[in-house]
Chains A and B, each alone.
Chain A
Amino acid sequence: MIKIVEVDKFKEVLFDGMSIMVGGFMTVGTSKLLIDAIVESGVKDLTLYCNDAGYENEGIGRLIASGQCKKLIASHIGLNPQAQQLMNENMMEVILVPQGTLVEQIRAGGSGLGGVLTPTGLGTLVEEGKDIINVDGKDYLLEKPLSADLTILEAYEADSFGNAKLIGTTKNFSPLMALAAKKVAIEVENLRSVIDPNDVSIPGVLVDYVIREDVVNGR
């Protein structure tokens, strides 16, 4: 099965009000090509899940600068002043989640789990409105699963079936996000005829679209 498609084919899955998980950590592992395609499509009222808000007008920050992001769920937005400003002016809803909780909520969402129990956030604002569950004498917060309509991410190498190899610190949230969305699109830096099965970070069975990176540049 060949999943390689043109960017225009990818744009057909986009719709107003959809939820998108964006792989990457401070733009490393974020697909520039697919972010650009979402900007060009003009879809609006997006709910975005990402570790952070990227930089101003860079990475996921492009979708914040373009005004397409209605709601952002992230652990940290400190390096994108525009995201902080929009949040303070109530122009964009931001939900801040501890990083380790966010990744486990996404893992749960893609793994058929009803949530996770974590001690992180107990005794802080994070526990507001959540159930506290005692297991063998120790308290935990119940954090519910998260899932989305689409996940986008960047892979270093992939084959035409979507088996993807992620290198360096580009993995971050991406393998978990690939489990938790109805559709998964990956931008591939280097398309290969075969990926050694031992090197696969994201199994191709999870991937719907493989899109070739057309420009290679820095961060």
Chain B
Amino acid sequence: MDAKEKIARRVALELEDGQLVNLGIGLPTKVAQFIPDDVHITLQSENGMTGLKDLVPEEISRHIVNAGGAFVSIDSQGAFFDSSISFALIRGGHVDVTVLGTLEVDQQGNIANYMIPGKLVPGMGGAMDLVTGAKKVIVSMIHTSKGKPKILKECTLPLTGRNCVDKIITELAVFEVKDNHLLLCEVAEESSVEEVLALTEADVIVSDNIKKF
């Protein structure tokens, strides 16, 4: 199993029956494939729909895309709406969980995922609203970037949001964000506490009840 699939499978276990969930573009989108059959969630796409599902080829329509511009389909309980309603859902606390990738995240629950000044400036899109309004914010990402830690004591890049991240899930570990430190709750079967600590800059407390995943 590749690292991204490992992450997506683990994130999927976080989702609970009946929740409204927004999955970011890229790795988080893969989570939808691994949601257990007995868990029924509603996916939102911030460009104006609930009931998002993977494209059914015979239903292709140039009028229906996800927030990344890719063609998608809508399920039988779905709805379309404008961006004001879509962001009222997000900002107003109606979205239970958002899953986002990031460039950096830190032990205060800060997240920086929308720009590298002078180099990469795609813009924040809906990310700032999502981290502000969603009840639970999960960061899902490859643990390091070219061997360098991305889980830091303090983010160095411009922030997308402050004190907003609840959980960090990588191919190596699952952390909960606590009061100015991270709690290491799970370690991948393929890894070890020692490896995770070596690849993480943030202050980490290892749970007494640490599990494998």
A residues with a Cβ closer than 8 A to B are 25-29, 51-52, 55, 74-79, 84, 87-88, 94, 96, 98-101, 103-104, 107, 118-126, 156, 167-176, 201, 218-219
Contacts and interface: CB of A to CB of B under 8 A. Distances in A.
A169 B84 contact: no
A123 B122 contact: no
A28 B124 contact: no
Contacts of A103: 82-84, 87
A172 B124 CA distance: 17
Interface string B70-94: 0000000000111110110011000
B63 A169 contact: yes
Overall SS of chain B's interface: loop
A87 B121 contact: yes
Interface string B108-150: 0000000000101111111111001100000000000000000
A102 B20 CA distance: 23
Contacts of B126: 75, 98-100
B132 A125 contact: no
A52 B183 CA distance: 38
Contact of A124 (B81, B118, B160): B160
Interface stretch (B7-15, B41-49, B186-194, B203-211): B41-49
B129 A120 contact: yes
User: For this complex, into which size category does the number of interface residues on chain B fall?
Assistant: 35 or more
B165 to A, nearest CB: 13
Contact of A99 (B46, B80, B158, B161): B46
A100 B91 contact: yes
Contact of B124 (A76, A88, A174): A76
B124 A25 contact: no
B69 A79 contact: yes
A120 B128 CA distance: 6
B180 interface: no
B63 A28 contact: yes
A171 B80 contact: yes
B27 interface: no
Given A99-B46, A171-B48, A172-B48, A78 B128 contact: no
Contacts of B48: 25, 169, 171-172
B83 A173 contact: yes
A156 to B, nearest CB: 7
B30 interface: no
